[in-house]
Structure 1
Amino acid sequence: MTLELLNRDIPADQAQAGTAGKPAGADVFGRIGTLETRLARNDREIEAAQRIRYKVFVEEMNATLSPDAMRLRRDFDGWDLICDHLLVVDNAIEGDIEDQIVGTYRLLRQEIALAKGGFYSASEFMIDQLIENHPDKRFMELGRSCVLPDYRTKRTVELLWQGNWAYALKHGMSAMFGCASFHGVFPEEHALALSFLHHNVAARDEWAVRARPELYHNMDLMPTEGINGRKALAAMPPLIKGYLRLGAMVGQGAVIDHAFNTTDVLIVLPIASISDRYINYYGADAGRFAS
């Protein structure tokens, strides 16, 4: 399912940071060494992030995008027009900003999504019911996470989470969610990890959310007594393990995304569930790497 191409009438409160007379660097969420994390400031930076996504998703993971995206060598869709784009930039790299962006995340707040056509994850999971169960909460969607191979290090991941955390606090978000992926389109190849998620961290009660019925693939592929937790965690992509460390839950049912050559699960992370250890590490005010 794809979103119709959206007009670029971004609300004033979503205007990119750094364009309202702020001093240079005022929109930076965090720094470690030569790396910094901040939002994309203009279309040029968003297009550079899309090229990073193309390198990871197409050249590395064999995704098949639209003909226009493949021709332009950029991963883009309609949601890019309404999302904020979190970047990790390496200022030590000489050249233009296109050369300095090494990682990215796509962030979408509930009020923007509902006004502009919905969440990306709703094409695979029944997000509307989750939102309806929490009329007093504000959700944000995380998506399109990727980092260039040479930068898949602890400090890059820390900066991405610093940015997500600072963004959530800035906008008063109550919970995060988003699709996370296993490589390949055969869930049975990930039976151990998927079964562990199903039996141990399934979102329940008011947080329960399921894959869309027509796309649903069972994650209960092994009996609980046959699951070795340590081996299951070792078999998971680093991004999913990172979510679990923060206190995330997982929706019921997986979805095969043939275009991206992945098996997707839905991550659900209430802000209140984030481990105190991580809140203390990043700072209750997101100040850990802000200086």
Structure 2
Amino acid sequence: MQGFGQGPQMPTTTPKGFLAKIDPRGWSGRLPGGIMPGILPVPPRRLKPALRQRRLENIGLPMTLGRIGSLEVRLAQTAKDVKQAQKLRYRVFYEEMAAIPNTLSLVSRRDRDEYDTLCDHLLVIDHAAAPDVPGKPGGQVVGTYRLLRQEIAERHGGFYSASEYAVEPLITSHPGKNFLELGRSCVLPAYRNKRTVELLWHGIWTYVLHHKIDVMLGCASLEGTEPSRLALPLAFLHHHAPAEGEWRVKAVPERYISMNRIAREGVDVKRALQALPPLIKGYLRLGASFGDGAVIDHQFGTTDVLVVLPVEKINARYVEHFGAGAERHAA
């Protein structure tokens, strides 16, 4: 989710749908936002055993999850793959945007934290582009998402977004549901187009079906850390797309920022939609709702909102678009 996570967007061609309507300007889908206080960059030696475990857990998934022309979407298989994703995140979050790196990220030129060893990393690779490492085969990683399944999160202290939102009550109140957290999504500027995002979402949909995911969640971001300047989009989400009833999630008390900044009758819906980041508009079209309260992420210079999307609530036309069995872009 900001991609569902952090990233950019695209031109319009058929088929119609949210992917065909994404604006190429300003897509940033970092899901979830920021590095949790106290989490240190992960030593590279820990990536290899973690990746071996992830590969065992993903037995049955095809190596290639989808293709469009020279673009391929697949999961990271090696430590090199993960490092390429981290380098891409650094370029987008720290060099292009306004995130503030810690010392080790600054030295390594990689956005990294302990969650990188727990997550699967979805990659879009352009095989027609110069490789990330000169002289080496493999093309260039141009887009990424980070995926954290509930069963793994529960073994290692919980979901990353729990630093911003009280997600545990939501999870414990749905003991039969299988949750997936989406995050750290980004795309290189030249690839912020329909094809790249179609492949990212095709990869996520394939992963969701394979692991029998019931609910996706994660933080999406609005640029800026002054809620008064974001009053219109925040109020729109509060009044027109709140997660209600069993799906309601509230920001943790010490970080809670009210989204109810304009009365419902005072919200100009057209202007609010224009003010929303393309990724959040994409979530709305999918059928997502949003948590109670925003959270300021000073490290990334954003104001975050929580996206909640039960798979059963996904708009039917998007399920049809990618295929009930994720066959649309299957390799």
Q: CA 1:162–1:3 in 2, change beyond 3 Å: closer, same or farther?
A: farther
CA distance in 2, matches of 1:183, 1:61: 9
> Which of 146, 171, 180 is the equivalent residue of 1:140?
180
For residues 132-177 of structure 1, the C-alpha deviation after alignment (integer angstroms, 9 at most, x for no partner) is 1100000000001110111110111111111111101110100100
- The answer as to whether partners of 1:178 and 1:266 remain within 8 angstroms in 2 is yes
Q: For 1:65, what is the secondary structure of its paired residue?
A: coil
Matches within 5 A, 1:12-161: 14-15=54-55, 26-95=62-131, 96=136, 100-161=140-201
Return 5+ residue gaps in structure 1 as ranges.
none
- The answer as to whether partners of 1:84 and 1:107 remain within 8 angstroms in 2 is yes
For residues 184-240 of structure 1, the C-alpha deviation after alignment (integer angstroms, 9 at most, x for no partner) is 111121111111100011101110001000000011111111112222111111111
Q: Which residue identity does 1:67 align to in structure 2?
A: T
Matches within 5 A, 1:192-207: 192-207=232-247
Does residue 225 in structure 1 map to residue 265 in structure 2? Answer: yes
CA distance in 2, matches of 1:57, 1:78: 17
TM-aligned CA deviation for residue 10 of structure 1 = 3.2
User: 1:179 is matched with which residue?
Assistant: 219
Return 5+ residue gaps in structure 2 as ranges.
1-35
Does residue 162 in structure 1 map to residue 198 in structure 2? Answer: no
- The answer as to whether partners of 1:3 and 1:79 remain within 8 angstroms in 2 is no
TM-aligned CA deviation for residue 119 of structure 1 = 0.8
CA distance in 2, matches of 1:202, 1:97: 46
Comparing 256-265 with 223-232, greater Cα deviation is found at 223-232
TM-aligned CA deviation for residue 36 of structure 1 = 1.2
Comparing 85-94 with 103-112, greater Cα deviation is found at 85-94
Q: For 1:15, what is the secondary structure of its paired residue?
A: helix
> Which of 251, 257, 266 is the equivalent residue of 1:211?
251
For residues 49-78 of structure 1, the C-alpha deviation after alignment (integer angstroms, 9 at most, x for no partner) is 001101111011110122101111100001
> Which of 311, 322, 331 is the equivalent residue of 1:282?
322
CA distance in 2, matches of 1:86, 1:11: 13
Q: Which residue identity does 2:175 align to in structure 1?
A: P
Using the aligned pairs only, state the percent identity: 52
User: 2:277 is matched with which residue?
Assistant: 237
> Which of 216, 225, 229 is the equivalent residue of 1:189?
229
Q: Which residue identity does 2:188 align to in structure 1?
A: L
Q: TM-score, structure 1 length as denominator?
A: 0.93
CA distance in 2, matches of 1:16, 1:63: 34
Q: CA 1:16–1:188 in 2, change beyond 3 Å: closer, same or farther?
A: farther
The higher-RCO structure (CA 8 Å, 6+ apart) is 2
- The answer as to whether partners of 1:46 and 1:85 remain within 8 angstroms in 2 is yes
For residues 11-30 of structure 1, the C-alpha deviation after alignment (integer angstroms, 9 at most, x for no partner) is 86622799x8x9xx941111
Over 3 Å off, 4+ runs = 1-13, 96-99
CA distance in 2, matches of 1:125, 1:98: 38
Q: CA 1:286–1:219 in 2, change beyond 3 Å: closer, same or farther?
A: same
- The answer as to whether partners of 2:146 and 2:182 remain within 8 angstroms in 1 is yes
Q: For 1:287, what is the secondary structure of its paired residue?
A: coil
CA distance in 1, matches of 2:161, 2:116: 14
Q: How many residues align?
A: 287
Q: Which residue identity does 2:270 align to in structure 1?
A: R
